[in-house]
């Protein structure tokens, strides 16, 4: 696929050569341009020229035909974006991140940690922090973080009620956002709510990654070794593995769920054996099934989970059931159709942290019993049957008495 990389300055191509070469090694066709290129454009007429977009930006604005509106449209059309900034972030890039659900802190501020910092690289300002609070999601970080990540940059934040964005890397409990070298008495962003890297899984399953550091994925950070504030060596940092994992997630190489083969059939009832019938009858026993696979690193394998649910709803859910899987990707459940007729629909909505969303619907009407489908005699009506029989017997007895 075609990837456009926009660089804040030409030196980033050399300082981030390992990261950029890694994209090419994964099969992407990489096109590198300055962020201020006057001929820059993402689409020609109604055709997008690129599939993915990487912006390594700082204090410069987007050039050419590219602007915030076009990049947001690019993402709305289902394309993916990776944005990395630093403490000198421009207002345009800040607005772009905000449009996608991630807030960037005030220009000039940096993440500071007086306890979890690298004593060699951050001895002066304590702004070269060592972060190890990563999201616990196998879709984003399959093996977790074996070592801390060296980070120097600006803080991010995500609204607490956000349904799409979440923090992939957070600050330690002692980290805060402020101006290096300036005493800070009150910090708006601090602790676990202070984000270093934020991810967003949008409703159209397009993905966005926002990093508050340009140096995090540089060659120097890849080769760095962590040193605690006491001077103790902590070994290699996890920047290479973390940047690879974030870029793979952002470009939908991991954590992608594919749903197919949705079907429903009547197991017991008037249409027993019918697959996807035009309508159900009340109280029928039906089976709902769907195939779900997880695609990662170029291969799709059966997805295994015990929390996939389906609803049969008409305005409100009448039936909610958990699907059972057979370890081969097939999720199925048998439910009894409610004793209410009308237009219902199957609804399967699956949203889990780090995975692409699944939203499936299938409309199916439910009809009442036909006249000939009711039972001829029901137990509850036996008293009425007896009263009719007694009245007929009394009439015959009285008539026989008067006649004969």
Length of the chain in residues, anyone? 404
- pTM, two decimals, is 0.87
Find out whether 65 and 40 touch, Cβ atoms under 8 Å. Answer: yes
Burial zone of 333 (CB within 10 Å; 0-12 exposed, 13-18 middle, 19+ buried): middle
Place of tokens 């096109």: 31
> In Å, how far from its chain's centre is CA 76?
15
* Structural domains of the chain ordered from first start: 2-251 (3.40.50), 256-367 (2.60.40.1930)
Q: What is the pLDDT of residues 314-353, one digit of tens each?
A: 989 999 999 999 989 999 999 999 999 999 999 999 999 9
Residues 6+ apart with CB under 8 A from 80: 51, 52, 53, 206, 207, 208, 250, 251, 252
Per-residue pLDDT of the chain (404 residues; tens, 9 = 90+): 899 999 999 999 999 999 999 999 999 999 999 999 998 989 988 899 999 999 999 989 998 888 999 999 999 999 999 999 999 999 999 999 999 999 999 998 999 988 988 888 877 888 899 998 999 999 999 888 888 999 999 999 999 889 899 999 999 999 999 888 777 767 788 888 999 999 999 999 999 999 999 999 999 999 998 888 888 888 889 999 999 999 999 999 999 999 999 999 998 866 776 677 888 999 999 999 999 999 998 899 999 999 999 999 998 999 999 999 998 999 999 999 999 999 999 999 999 999 999 999 999 999 998 888 877 788 888 899 999 999 999 999 999 999 99
Q: What is the pLDDT of residues 61-113, one digit of tens each?
A: 998 888 999 999 999 999 999 999 999 999 999 999 999 999 999 998 999 98
Burial zone of 360 (CB within 10 Å; 0-12 exposed, 13-18 middle, 19+ buried): middle
d(CA 313, CA 363): 10
What H or E segment, with its residue span, contains residue 117? none
d(CA 190, CA 89): 20
d(CA 96, CA 81): 11
């Amino acid at each position: 696929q075609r990837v456009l990389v926009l660089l804040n300055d030409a030196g980033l191509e050399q300082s981030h050569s390992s990261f950029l070469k890694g994209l090419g090694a994964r099969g992407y066709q990489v096109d590198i341009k300055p962020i201020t290129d006057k001929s820059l454009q993402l689409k020609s007429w109604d055709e997008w020229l690129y599939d993915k977009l990487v912006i390594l930006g700082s204090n410069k604005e987007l050039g050419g035909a590219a602007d915030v509106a076009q990049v947001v449209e690019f993402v709305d059309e289902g394309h993916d974006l990776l944005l990395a900034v630093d403490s000198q972030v421009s207002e345009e890039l800040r607005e772009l991140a905000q449009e996608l659900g991630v807030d960037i802190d005030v220009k000039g501020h940096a993440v500071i940690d007086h306890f979890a910092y690298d004593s060699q690289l951050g001895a002066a300002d304590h702004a070269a922090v060592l972060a190890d609070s990563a999201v616990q999601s196998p879709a984003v970080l399959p093996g977790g973080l074996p070592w801390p990540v060296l980070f120097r940059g600006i803080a991010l934040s995500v609204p607490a009620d956000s349904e799409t964005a979440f923090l992939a890397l957070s600050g330690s409990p002692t980290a805060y956002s402020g101006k290096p070298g300036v005493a800070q008495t009150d910090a708006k962003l601090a602790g676990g709510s202070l984000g270093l890297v934020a991810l967003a899984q949008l409703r159209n399953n397009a993905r966005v990654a926002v990093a508050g550091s340009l140096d995090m994925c540089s060659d120097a950070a890849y080769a760095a070794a962590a040193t605690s504030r006491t001077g103790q060596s902590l070994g290699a940092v996890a920047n290479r593995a973390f940047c690879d994992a974030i870029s793979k997630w952002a470009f939908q190489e991991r954590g992608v769920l594919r749903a197919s083969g949705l079907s429903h059939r009547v197991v017991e009832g008037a249409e027993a054996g019918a697959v996807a019938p035009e309508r159900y009858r009340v109280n029928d026993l039906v089976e709902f099934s769907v195939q779900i696979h997880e695609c990662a690193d170029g291969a799709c394998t059966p997805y295994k989970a015990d929390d996939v649910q389906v609803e049969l709803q008409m305005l409100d859910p009448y039936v909610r059931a958990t699907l059972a899987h057979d370890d081969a990707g097939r999720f199925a459940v048998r439910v009894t159709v409610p004793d209410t007729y009308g237009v219902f629909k199957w609804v399967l909505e699956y949203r889990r942290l780090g995975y692409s969303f699944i939203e499936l619907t299938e409309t199916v009407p439910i009809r009442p019993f036909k006249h000939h489908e009711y039972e001829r005699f029901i137990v509850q009506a036996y008293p009425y049957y007896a009263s009719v029989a007694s009245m007929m017997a009394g009439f015959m007895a009285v008539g026989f008495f008067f006649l004969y």
